[in-house]
């Protein structure tokens, strides 16, 4: 079911891109239509690829807090809604800042290169949520029930609002998505500064996040090499930003490079884990 819904969301994104191309082709000509269509597709691919890493973080959070599978869906629904609102705010702010202060592209580029290098260096390091200062702070300062109360985020206890562990899970999901957005949105600004393309490619990628989680959650270990590929994508788009005033890499070439990196590490992950399982 999750795979079917993932395919449905993917096809909706492609139909939107086709409709966008048809409209722009009629209004502005094929050259503009081709460029904008490739910008959308590249932005969508980058966001979708980086979302895989975010899904692994979601899985880690759900596992740490022992969230029953039947109530994970509600958290993810709110997570997707929060992600859409957050991205709308960040994209509008980012587009305005880039338009007013062009030099910010260099700052974004340097940030992405550093982030990509750090991801390469610490790809095998698994964060320990039991030592996370935010988790411990919330546990100390929130009135929490000792167990889950179905899909409720809080209950009334002795006349006081008492939060369930599910509320803490939701906070961690939203915070992880905020960190994820700080990486992914500047990465798409490396492809285009058109806020419409940035927003729509982001949103269509995010809409399929919930289905994508349930499709990949059970096979996360089979994609353990993908983090290296995502790190290389961040380094590439960061470098693209840094040289934008000296050489503008064509959108089609960017799409090909990003697609090749992701496909290479995805198939490498599947191949390596297949060999291990057969030994």
Read off the pLDDT of residues 167-221 as tens digits, 9 standing for 90 and up: 999 998 888 888 888 878 888 888 888 989 999 999 999 888 888 888 887 777 7
- pLDDT tier at 274 (50, 70, 90 boundaries)? confident
Q: Alpha-carbon distance 80 to 82, whole Å?
A: 5
The β-bridge partners of 160 are 157
Q: Are 180 and 205 in contact (CB under 8 A)?
A: no
Q: Are 79 and 170 in contact (CB under 8 A)?
A: yes
Half-sphere CA count of 58, side-chain side, radius 13 A:
31
Q: Kindly report the number of other CB atoms within 10 A of residue 69's CB atom.
A: 9
Q: Where are the domains of the chain?
A: 2-278
pLDDT of 244 = 83
Read off the pLDDT of residues 82-126 as tens digits, 9 standing for 90 and up: 888 888 888 888 888 888 888 888 998 899 899 889 888 876 667
pLDDT of 276 = 56
Residue with tokens 């599947």: 270
Closest CA to 61 of 197, 220, 204, 168: 168
How much is the pTM? 0.83
pLDDT over 90, % of the chain: 20
Max CA-CA distance within the chain? Answer: 67
- pLDDT tier at 138 (50, 70, 90 boundaries)? confident
pLDDT of 275 = 63
Q: Alpha-carbon distance 188 to 260, whole Å?
A: 17
Read off the pLDDT of residues 14-62 as tens digits, 9 standing for 90 and up: 999 999 999 999 999 999 999 999 999 999 998 888 888 788 888 888 8
Sign of CA dihedral 42, 205, 126, 221: negative
pLDDT over 70, % of the chain: 96
């Amino acid at each position: 079911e999750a795979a079917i819904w993932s395919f449905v969301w993917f096809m909706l994104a492609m139909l939107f891109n086709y409709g966008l191309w048809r409209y722009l082709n009629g209004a502005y000509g094929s050259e503009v239509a081709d460029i904008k269509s490739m910008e959308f597709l590249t932005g969508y691919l980058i966001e979708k690829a980086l979302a895989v890493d975010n899904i692994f973080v979601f899985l880690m959070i759900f596992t740490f807090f022992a969230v029953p599978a039947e109530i994970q869906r509600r958290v993810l629904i709110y997570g997707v809604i929060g992600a859409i609102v957050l991205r709308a705010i960040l994209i509008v702010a980012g587009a305005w800042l880039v338009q007013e202060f062009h030099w910010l592209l260099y700052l974004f580029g340097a940030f992405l290169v550093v982030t990509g290098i750090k991801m390469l260096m610490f790809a095998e390091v698994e964060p320990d949520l039991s030592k996370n200062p935010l988790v411990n702070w919330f546990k100390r300062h929130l009135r929490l029930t000792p167990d889950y109360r179905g899909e409720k985020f809080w209950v009334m206890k002795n006349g006081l609002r008492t939060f369930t562990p599910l509320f803490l899970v939701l906070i961690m999901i939203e915070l992880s998505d905020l960190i994820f957005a700080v990486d992914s949105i500047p990465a798409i600004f490396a492809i285009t500064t058109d806020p419409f393309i940035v927003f729509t490619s982001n949103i269509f990628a995010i809409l399929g996040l919930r289905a994508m989680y349930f499709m990949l959650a059970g096979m996360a270990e089979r994609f353990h090499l993908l983090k290296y590929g995502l790190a290389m994508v961040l380094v590439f788009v960061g470098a693209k930003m840094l040289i934008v005033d000296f050489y503008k890499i064509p959108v089609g070439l960017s799409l090909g490079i990003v697609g090749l990196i992701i496909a290479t590490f995805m198939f490498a992950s599947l191949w390596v884990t297949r060999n291990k399982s057969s030994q």
